[in-house]
Chains A and B, each alone.
Chain A
Amino acid sequence: MSEAIVTPKKQVKERKSGPWRDGWRSFKKNKIALIGAMLVLFFVSLAIFGPLLAPQGINEQMLANKLQPPSAEHWFGTDDLGRDVYSRVILGARISLLVGFLSVIASAIVGSFLGIMAGYYGRWIDTIISRLFDILLAFPSILLAIAIVAVLGPSLQNALIAIAIINVPNFGRLIRSRVLSIKEEEYITAAKAIGMSDRRILFSHILPNAMTPIIVQGTLAIATAIIEAAALGFLGLGAQPPQPEWGKMLADARSYFITAPWTMIFPGLSIMLVVLGFNLMGDGLRDAFDPKMKN
């Protein structure tokens, strides 16, 4: 407020900028969120440029060199098949992030669609969709994911599908409640009054106004999805050998955690940092764009 009085010119600019710009400004002020964003950026660039950075491929075995401690040649040591852990951790970033992004995008799209249907049309459509969400939420999510993978067969792709499915109700319920309140707004009534079609109302008015919680929830959900993918990989239900998935690497390392702790520390640390990054960034985004969701 005091700022605005000092420089009226800036006030004009601010008014022009709108909620996105405001959000961005407040996000920039949040140091912790910026750290999170930098972590995410770091891992995203690893995922993109990994093959250029990794000194070795994912499956270059040197059995005679197995379980070597970190050295100049192998920065993170070698694993039980004599593969370079540093290379595998770098190349594993792409797998984890891909699973995180794709599964969340898939569940956000499906969840939003179902949530909008339920919220906007109400009545029996709402009943069916809401009960479906209740059923999905009734299972512990990781258990449901294991069950889905057990049916589809263990592979990275099926793990991705399973994670997408278990996250659908989270998005669905969020959007549904959002739509329920938006549809009572006067501009929606106005749009209806001038004879606008349902489809146009949904896509031009309701969806854009329901967007922020999806983005915030999405960022946080990526973190969970990465952990879930790692958990499935750890159980042997996700990525299959020789894919360098971090959870799978942890599972392989557990027999050697006393003699060769580096096989466990580096993939474990990567999971921790990338998840921390997404969580810090997600929290920051929520504070910035959706103050109502706070607490």
Chain B
Amino acid sequence: MNKKVMRRLGLLAILALTMMLAACGDKGKETGSDKDGSSDGTANGEGGGTLVFGRGGDSVALDPAIVTDGESYKVLVNVTETLVDFGKDNMELNPLLAESWEKSDDGLTYTFKLKQGVKFHDDTDFNAEAVVKNVERWKNGDDKFAYYHSQFRLDEKDVIESVTAEDEHTVVFKLSTPQAPFLRNIAMSAFAMLSPTAFEADEKKMAEAPVGTGPFKFVEWKRNDAITIEKFDGYHVEGLPKLDKIIYRAIPDNSARLNELSAGSIDVADGINPSDAAGVKGNDQLQLIERPSMNVGYFGLTVSRKPFDDKLVRQAANYAVDKQAIVDAFFEGYAEVANTPLPPVLEAHNSDIKGYGYNPEKAKELLKEAGYNGEEFELWAMPVPRPYMPDGQKIAEAIQKNFEDVGLKAKIVSFEWATYLEKATAGDADSFLLGWTGDNGDADNFLYTLLDEDNIGSNNYTFYKNDELHKLLTDAQTEVDEAKRNEMYKKAQEIIHEDAPWIPLAHSTPLLAATAKVSNYVAHPTSSDKLLEVELK
């Protein structure tokens, strides 16, 4: 009898455990000690001190020319600098290492006047010669310089034909073909200047310990844990940076990161779930920071697979989804409904396109007209939260229900993230959730990258192909008249709207949180924030 009682107790214990399992969920790895600590913020006088920045993942490498991931650039924008800079919180072009520039009428020559008195962290002078050496490095680097390849190479030909030092502080770029977004491209963090002395001495070391001209210099990198950078005393802007030291810590789980912020062991937390925003706002010790939106979350309809090989079915799917309800429920108001792939912050955004709107009746009609036979298709749900898609699984369920209401039969499937992307690239998905955050604020970086036939097999996951669109998008790349170019992109959005390879869902406002003592934090649309004016009070 005793044993029986024990058995029952054991059973109850297991059940209790089941419920606790539900409660625990996937807490990220527990964090180590407080390191140098963030609470000594005021120790070093006015605004200085150490800021600890918590983020979702570690950097891949720290050589700006070879990496492509956001977590690497998050650190690099504070260590290295580009000739041309984006605005503080927008995508306008501003001088940085180049004080001014001139473009020739044919759009083939750019002359940059460089800022004087700038030094790299290793005391090498920054001058025209340094720029030439950096550009030569990109040109001679093979495919490992991914961004150089994608932005400055057309059909295996270099867009930057040559670069020459006219004098100590003047450098001339000659292009082989006019490139409309040239300045935007050169402003991307991938094209930051490294010290020629450093990379000529040891090319490979750049990926571990970059030497730039930025406000902070690299100190130490503990893999999968933390990267430390500290104030560069010889920085070329007087009085900046304010902080003495920044530690970037990788804390993969969003809730765990927020917990650490509440506990005070980090000062800034990237990637806050929209559902946690209200809690952050209600806490006096914390502040919520909204990142200007430059992204799109979408539902892709693979045009090479049934049933979405039929335009009518794709349009029906667009009418079927109640985007406003999805935005309200899952983005908690931190997003707006997307009608085209381009976020409204970009000039080329076509605001005349009003989207399909939620109209189940119309969807049913179109499906009938298309002769859709009710066959089931797969609906891929993203397994990870992303700024443009806070909860892929749940949004998938909402869309599945929308589809069911009009008679489209979808089965939800999911894979782990790397497999998901790999299989989607190969065109294995019937329909899928995905999104994109812009790199350089140019329409080309959305429309050509995501929807042109040239990018089938890379970022064009829907395998969408339209000859008229292809001509428009490739012509727009070399069109130097801004107004004309915007018109071309507006036309391109109309074509995309009509062909409906996507259901554009939302342009979200990614969220960060910081402790109340952090001031002057400005979040940038590219997701890489410069912390040179940030202070701790």
* A residues at B contact (CB < 8 Å): 59, 61, 63-64, 66, 80-82, 223, 227, 230-231, 234, 236, 240-242, 250-257, 259, 264, 268, 271-272, 275-276, 279-280, 283, 295
- Report the bound CA distance from A146 to B3 in whole Å: 30
B326 touches A63 (CB 8 A): yes
Q: Which residue of B lies closest to A231 (CB)?
A: B18
Kindly list chain B residues whose C-beta atoms are within 8 Å of the C-beta of A279.
7-8, 11
Number of residues from B at the complex interface, CB < 8 A: 33
Instruction: For the complex formed, measure the closest distance between the CB of A226 and the CB atoms of chain B, giving whole angstroms.
Output: 11
A64 touches B397 (CB 8 A): no
Instruction: For the complex formed, measure the closest distance between the CB of B6 and the CB atoms of chain A, giving whole angstroms.
Output: 11
- Report the bound CA distance from A213 to B12 in whole Å: 24
Stretch at the interface among B22-30, B157-165, B262-270: B22-30
Q: Which residue of A lies closest to B327 (CB)?
A: A63
B537 sits at the interface (CB 8 A) = no
Kindly list chain A residues whose C-beta atoms are within 8 Å of the C-beta of B329.
63-64, 66, 81-82
Stretch at the interface among B241-249, B398-406, B496-504, B521-529: B398-406
A264 touches B11 (CB 8 A): no
Kindly list chain A residues whose C-beta atoms are within 8 Å of the C-beta of B400.
241-242
B219 sits at the interface (CB 8 A) = no
Q: Which residue of B lies closest to A272 (CB)?
A: B15
Q: Which residue of A lies closest to B14 (CB)?
A: A227
B325 sits at the interface (CB 8 A) = yes
B351 sits at the interface (CB 8 A) = no
Kindly list chain B residues whose C-beta atoms are within 8 Å of the C-beta of A283.
4, 7-8
Kindly list chain A residues whose C-beta atoms are within 8 Å of the C-beta of B391.
255
B18 touches A254 (CB 8 A): no
B401 touches A59 (CB 8 A): yes
25 interchain pairs, CB-CB under 8 A: A63-B398, A64-B328, A66-B329, A81-B398, A82-B329, A227-B14, A227-B18, A234-B21, A234-B22, A236-B414, A242-B401, A250-B19, A252-B394, A254-B25, A255-B275, A264-B22, A268-B19, A271-B15, A272-B12, A276-B12, A279-B11, A280-B8, A283-B7, A283-B8, A295-B3
Enumerate B396-418 residues with CB–CB distance to A below 8 Å: 396-398, 400-401, 404, 411-412, 414
- Report the bound CA distance from A98 to B404 in whole Å: 25
Q: Which residue of A lies closest to B25 (CB)?
A: A254
A255 touches B25 (CB 8 A): yes
Instruction: For the complex formed, measure the closest distance between the CB of B525 and the CB atoms of chain A, giving whole angstroms.
Output: 28
User: Which of A227, A240, A254 touches B22 (beta carbons < 8 Å)?
Assistant: A254
Instruction: For the complex formed, measure the closest distance between the CB of B401 and the CB atoms of chain A, giving whole angstroms.
Output: 5
Known: A63-B326, A63-B328, A279-B8. A240 touches B401 (CB 8 A): no
Kindly list chain A residues whose C-beta atoms are within 8 Å of the C-beta of B412.
240-241
- Report the bound CA distance from A279 to B8 in whole Å: 8
B22 touches A268 (CB 8 A): yes
Sorted from nearest, which 7 A-B pairs have the closest CB atoms? Answer: A63-B329, A254-B25, A250-B22, A63-B325, A272-B15, A268-B19, A241-B397
Instruction: For the complex formed, measure the closest distance between the CB of A88 and the CB atoms of chain B, giving whole angstroms.
Output: 13
Kindly list chain A residues whose C-beta atoms are within 8 Å of the C-beta of B7.
279, 283
Beyond A81-B398, A257-B22, 17 additional pairs, beta carbon < 8 A: A59-B401, A63-B322, A63-B326, A63-B328, A64-B325, A81-B401, A227-B18, A231-B18, A241-B412, A250-B22, A253-B22, A255-B25, A255-B275, A264-B19, A264-B23, A276-B11, A283-B8
